[in-house]
Amino acid sequence: MFHYQSIDFIFLEILSSLLELVLSRHNRLRNKKNKDETKEKKLKEIITSDSQIKRENIIEAESISFNNTFKNLKYDEYGFVDKNDSKKKEDNSEEEKAPSLIDMQKENAKLKEWLKITPYFENYMTKNRNKLKLKIRKGIPDSLRGEIWMKISGADKLKQGKKNLYNELVTKINQNEILKIPEEDIIIKDMNRTFPKNLMFMNKLGDGQRKLFRVLSCFSSYNQKVGYVQGMSFITAFFLSYLSEENAFWMLLNYMKNYGLQDLYYREFPGLKKSLFILLKFMKKLLPDIYDVLTKNEIYPTIYASSWYLTCFTNILSFEQVLRIMDCFFFEGIKILHRISLGILALNRDNILKSKTAADVMGAMKNMTEHIDIEELFKVSFGFSISKKQIAKYEELYNDLKNGRKTGDEDIMNQVNC
């Protein structure tokens, strides 16, 4: 005889089991949701408060995206808040200026020229250096800039021998296998000071800031002799604007190693002092009137030029202007930093020379780059006679003075050591 009650019992058992599974899944999802909400709330509190951000906050933030962009503002082609946006809003009749047809045609023509030589770049680097140098001085097309930087700087070759290095360093940082570096707190603070009005870096714990943290932390842990010095974050931000996170790391490593710039950042800044000595030697030879006024008023390069060399002018020139300087720097080397420094001073000659007191001179030098045109700056800077041979000679003089030998340049050495 068929027992209906047995069937009912079995059916109820199955139904009960299904309900338990559904409830269990629902509870897991609810717990996960609560956990995510708590995590998000915690991170939002960090973002909106002045409390110190820690490494674990940066790593945790990778799974949560925040949109703190200034929604009602306009941005320029490089992702910065448009300074003229408020003026445009006040005058509704003013039409937004678009690039002219002539400008677009010129840019496209330049891009086509670069695309022709890109496949044969190695050949140009060795056999057509002067032609390539002039082309670079006119500006690398924006769409090719990152790729060309890697090639002309040698960062691509540096990367070839250690392709997995960056990923290994990032993994160790994420898993806390790398002990906290001494400069980590400074890096975290500097994240919020680095291009805060740029779309890529304006969001606390956003994608740009996390990339910046990882690149700087990996570099500092890998090259502990240099570590991290304020100013590196801006240079690295330029790299991240045109390169992948990994390639930005290799550019930073190459920037320090192959151009000898890590000497600028060592303790007591030996490379910086040498660079400022060379700058003063060129000033005395090429801009003697400016040199005399600054020396007379005891205004030494440690006051006005240190940051130029440490940040590659990112602290005083616009993003677009620094890009043009970096284009040239990666091909021609540190000579470019000396040229641009002299050019900035030369363009402000009249204001400096007419100053009667030290305070007047400092006032004249305060806004030296406010109205500088990059083409005019390049024209003046590349008009100076500066050679690698001269730089090497001045380096030798500096080393002689450092070792106690008399060279007749003790007055310049005293300025550098102030």
Q: Rg of the chain's alpha carbons, rounded to an integer?
A: 28
Q: What is the average per-residue pLDDT within 39-52?
A: 45
* Distance between CA atoms of residues 11 and 212, nearest Å: 59
Tens-place pLDDT, residues 113-122? 899 888 888 8
What's the pLDDT score for residue 395? 94
If we measure between CA atoms, which residue out of 188, 263, 182, 198 comes closest to residue 237? 198
What's the pLDDT score for residue 45? 46
Q: Residue 124: pLDDT above 60?
A: yes
Question: What CATH architecture is 101-258?
Answer: Orthogonal Bundle (1.10)
Q: Between residues 270 and 101, which one has the greater pLDDT?
A: 270
Q: State the burial class of residue 177 (Cβ atoms within 10 Å of its Cβ: 0-12, 13-18, 19+).
A: exposed
Q: Give me the DSSP letters along 263-328.
A: HHHSTT-HHHHHHHHHHHHHHHHH-HHHHHHHHHTT--HHHHTHHHHHHTTTTTS-HHHHHHHHHH
What's the pLDDT score for residue 388? 92
Tens-place pLDDT, residues 316-334? 999 999 999 999 999 999 9
* Distance between CA atoms of residues 323 and 139, nearest Å: 8
Q: Give the chain's largest Cα–Cα span.
A: 121
What's the pLDDT score for residue 2? 44
Q: Between residues 312 and 49, which one has the greater pLDDT?
A: 312
* Distance between CA atoms of residues 39 and 324, nearest Å: 43
* Distance between CA atoms of residues 102 and 223, nearest Å: 47
- Under 8 Å between Cβ of 182 and 267: no
* Distance between CA atoms of residues 252 and 97, nearest Å: 36
Q: State the burial class of residue 17 (Cβ atoms within 10 Å of its Cβ: 0-12, 13-18, 19+).
A: exposed
User: 177: pLDDT confidence band, cut at 50, 70 and 90?
Assistant: low
| DSSP letter (8 states) at residue 95 | P
Number of H helices, E strands in the chain: 25, 0
Q: What is the average per-residue pLDDT within 97-106?
A: 69
Tens-place pLDDT, residues 71-96? 667 888 888 887 765 444 444 444 44
Domain boundaries, the chain: 101-258, 264-416
Tens-place pLDDT, residues 8-26? 555 556 556 656 665 666 6
What's the pLDDT score for residue 310? 92
* Percent of all residues in the chain with a pLDDT value above 70, rounded to a whole number: 77
Tens-place pLDDT, residues 347-396? 999 999 998 899 999 998 988 998 899 999 999 999 999 999 999 999 99
What's the pLDDT score for residue 189? 87
Task: Say which CATH topology domain 264-416 has.
Answer: Cyclin A; domain 1 (1.10.472)
What's the pLDDT score for residue 123? 86
Tokens 């769409």 label which residue?
Answer: 143
If we measure between CA atoms, which residue out of 374, 315, 323, 334 comes closest to residue 193? 315
Name, of 201-205, 219-223, 342-346, the range with top average pLDDT.
342-346
- The CA–CA distances, whole Å, from 189 to 169, 225, 393 equal 21, 21, 40
Q: Output the CA angle 219-220-222, nearest 5 degrees.
A: 65
Q: What is the average per-residue pLDDT within 212-234?
A: 90
Residue 218 parent element (H or E): helix 207-222
Q: State the burial class of residue 333 (Cβ atoms within 10 Å of its Cβ: 0-12, 13-18, 19+).
A: middle
Tens-place pLDDT, residues 364-375? 898 899 889 999
Residues paired with residue 75 on neighbouring β-strands, in sequence order: 81
pTM of the model: 0.81
Q: Between residues 245 and 264, which one has the greater pLDDT?
A: 245
* Distance between CA atoms of residues 109 and 76, nearest Å: 23
Q: Give me the DSSP letters along 103-143.
A: HHHHHHHHHHHHHHHGGGHHHHHHH-HHHHHHHHHT---GG
What's the pLDDT score for residue 265? 87
- The CA–CA distances, whole Å, from 212 to 77, 81, 170, 215 equal 21, 20, 12, 5
Q: What is the mean pLDDT of the chain?
A: 83
* Distance between CA atoms of residues 155 and 136, nearest Å: 17
- Under 8 Å between Cβ of 234 and 315: yes
